[in-house]
Amino acid sequence: MYLNGKVAFVTGAAQGIGRAMVEELLHKGAAVILVDLNRIAGEQCKASLDEEFGSHRTLFIQCDVTDEKQLKAAFQKTMEHFGNLDILVNNAGVNNEKDWEKTIEVNLISVIRGTYIGLELMNVKNGGRGGVIINISSLAGLTPAAYQPVYCASKHGVIGFTRSIAALASIGNYGVRINTVCPAFVDTPLLESIEKEENMGEFYKYKDNIKDMMKSFGVLDPSLIAKGLIDLIEDDSFNGAVMKITTSRGIHFEEYAAHQKTKV
Ligand SMILES: NC(=O)C1=CN([C@@H]2O[C@H](COP(=O)(O)OP(=O)(O)OC[C@H]3O[C@@H](n4cnc5c(N)ncnc54)[C@H](O)[C@@H]3O)[C@@H](O)[C@H]2O)C=CC1
Ligand SMILES: CC/C=C\C[C@H](O)C(=O)/C=C/C=C/C=C\C=C\[C@@H](O)C/C=C\CCC(=O)O
């Protein structure tokens, strides 16, 4: 997909990986809807981006992605404001083993719901003009994470759902490609949750173990994740891809047997 002039919807856009993705999309000429629960951070993010890219290139929408009514309204506002939707990045995520139901709601249920709403709008069979959906998983979506069992489950779910819906989109000729990105540790405020009992709950006593893992695996810059996102959007050969991003191997892909691969 050629990004110039396209319209992208990014959740969790106010900071971290989401903000890095927004900046890359703007540099490539797209218009971007910034969707985030945090109004202050979202408005500050937009104000900063306006200085570099102009105020017409972005729209901030305060939205809790776990609230179906708010999420649907955000998509509706996008269509009204920009007239179309070409790219959807379901990025918003939390790490909370204490309120683990919230983790499942944000990291998995909202990704599924956002994908379905985005597909409805982009599917050429519905009069859409096609597009690309990227769901953000994690390396914890591919390996056990002893100290984040529910976060791990949510991210495994993102991969299973994304590969499945990508296969359906191909079989149904929807004109929409759906892929997932699995970064290892990335230098964002999310990592601060490791130090908080209200996030880690019973696993708080293992916080130093996670920090040792971070020392061992290293911590990635969000800009590398944004680069991986752009690769998946621009290269039309990717559908159902599971992109991994680690300090040791950079951007690479999980390999599956031929019968488990998704056609474009
Ligand atoms: N930081 C890391 O080490 C890694 C993060 N990831 C994933 O990348 C994604 C982005 O994470 P980070 O940028 O690191 O986190 P972050 O905490 O820096 O940013 C997450 C953003 O999502 C927003 N958000 C949270 N709940 C929301 C909700 N209910 N509705 C709308 N917005 C909401 C927050 O306000 C925040 O702006 C997440 O899905 C995370 O699981 C994956 C692998 C590594
Ligand atoms: C507060 C931090 C929350 C989330 C961080 C993020 O989602 C994350 O990166 C979590 C990673 C958890 C990893 C858990 C185990 C890692 C296991 C390793 O065995 C993976 C090993 C190699 C990857 C090889 C490769 O294909 O590159």
pLDDT over 90 percentage in the chain: 97
141 close to ligand 1 (CB < 6 Angstrom): no
Which ligand has its closest atom nearest to the C-alpha of 142?
Answer: 2
* Residue 218 pLDDT exceeds 90: yes
The verdict on whether 116 is a catalytic residue reads: no
Mean pLDDT across 106-130: 97
Q: In whole angstroms, give the CA distance from residue 31 to residue 61.
A: 14
Confidence of residue 264 (pLDDT cuts 50, 70, 90): confident
Task: Kindly state if the Cβ of 140 falls inside 6 Å of ligand 2.
Answer: yes
CATH 3.40.50.720 for domain 7-260, yes or no, is yes
Please report the pLDDT score of residue 259 as a whole number: 82
The full set of domain ranges for the chain reads 7-260
Predicted pLDDT at 112: 99
Per-residue pLDDT reduced to its tens digit, 131-184: 999 999 999 999 999 999 999 999 999 999 999 999 999 999 999 999 999 999
| Nearest atom of ligand 2 to the alpha carbon of 254 | 26
Residue 95 has pLDDT above 90, yes or no: yes
What is the b/e burial string over 228-255, where b = at least 16 CB atoms within 10 angstroms of the residue's CB?
bbbebbeeeebbbbbbbbbeeeebeeee
Q: How far is CA 8 from CA 5, 18, 36, 46, 106, in A?
A: 10, 12, 14, 15, 20
In the numeric block, the tokens 């809807």 are attached to 33
The rounded mean pLDDT for the chain is: 97
Instruction: State the ipTM, two decimals.
Output: 0.94
The string of pLDDT tens digits covering residues 184-195 is: 999 999 999 999
Q: Is 201 left (phi over 0), alpha (psi -120 to 50) or beta?
A: left
> Which ligand has the shortest distance to the CA of 66?
1
Please enumerate in sequence order all residues whose Cβ is within 8 A of that of 201, keeping only pairs 6 or more positions apart, or say none: 97, 98, 100
CA of 83 to the centre of ligand 2 (A): 38
Q: Do 177 and 133 form a contact (C-beta atoms < 8 A)?
A: yes
* pLDDT recorded at residue 176: 98
pLDDT (0 to 100) of residue 55: 96
Beta pairing class for 87-90 and 31-36: unpaired
Cα of 190 vs centre of ligand 2, distance in Å, is 14
Take residue 256 and report the two structure tokens written for it.
Answer: 């599956």
116 vs 92: CA distance, rounded Å: 16
Q: Is the pLDDT of residue 85 over 90?
A: yes
Task: Please state the pTM of the whole predicted model.
Answer: 0.96
Q: What is the pLDDT of residues 226-261, one digit of tens each?
A: 999 999 999 999 999 999 999 999 999 999 888 888
